[in-house]
Amino acid sequence: MSYSVRPARRSDAALLPDIERSAGEPFRDIPDLAWIADDEVGEPEFHESLAAGGTVWVAVDRQDRPIGFLSAEIVGDALHIWELAVAHEAQNQGLGRRLMEVAEAEARRRGLASETLTTFSDVAWNAPFYQRLGFEMLSPGADVRLDELNRLEAERGLPRRCAMRKRL
């Protein structure tokens, strides 16, 4: 199937939580993380507010239906990636990589110094995926903002998280 990536529209925001839920299905195969498949997802209003700033992109099918998305926010001189999600049935087709490429191109166009994110350090489609795209794991203390995000995620019960950055 053929897909394209475009900036998200307001009307897309209501569809993104279902994509995020679907994207979480592979966590069911990791015993101590299986609960994530049923965990809360981002609210449409969150994605809509980020889309207003031009930092949400959707991968769409030929009928222009979103099947993946990347939500980000400009924080200082970085594009912080809050969520990258591809519907379960559309995974492993390069859509996550393509969404990341589009986000990086926009960060470069805006003259930002880096991209940042937090993710699971040892889940194949998390930190190892981002490392293949040029992100580096940061040691605790390397970025106060990301340390605080990791602390908040740990309080929420998310284990084995790491902060990552890609210099542009």
Q: Does position 1 have pLDDT exceeding 80, yes or no?
A: no
Residue 86 belongs to what domain range? 4-167
List beta partners, residue 115: 79, 166
CATH number at residue 135: 3.40.630.30
Q: What pLDDT sits at residue 40? A: 85
* Count of domains observed in the chain: 1
Nearest Cα residue to 55 out of 82, 94, 77 = 82
Instruction: Tell me the whole-structure pTM to 2 decimals.
Output: 0.94
* 160, pLDDT greater than 90: no
Give the pLDDT confidence score for residue 29 in this predicted structure.
Answer: 94
158 pLDDT higher than 90: no
Which amino acid would we find at residue 70? L
What is the DSSP code (8-state) at residue 107?
H
Q: With a cut of 90, say whether residue 111 has pLDDT above it.
A: yes
H helix or E strand, kind and range, residue 64: none
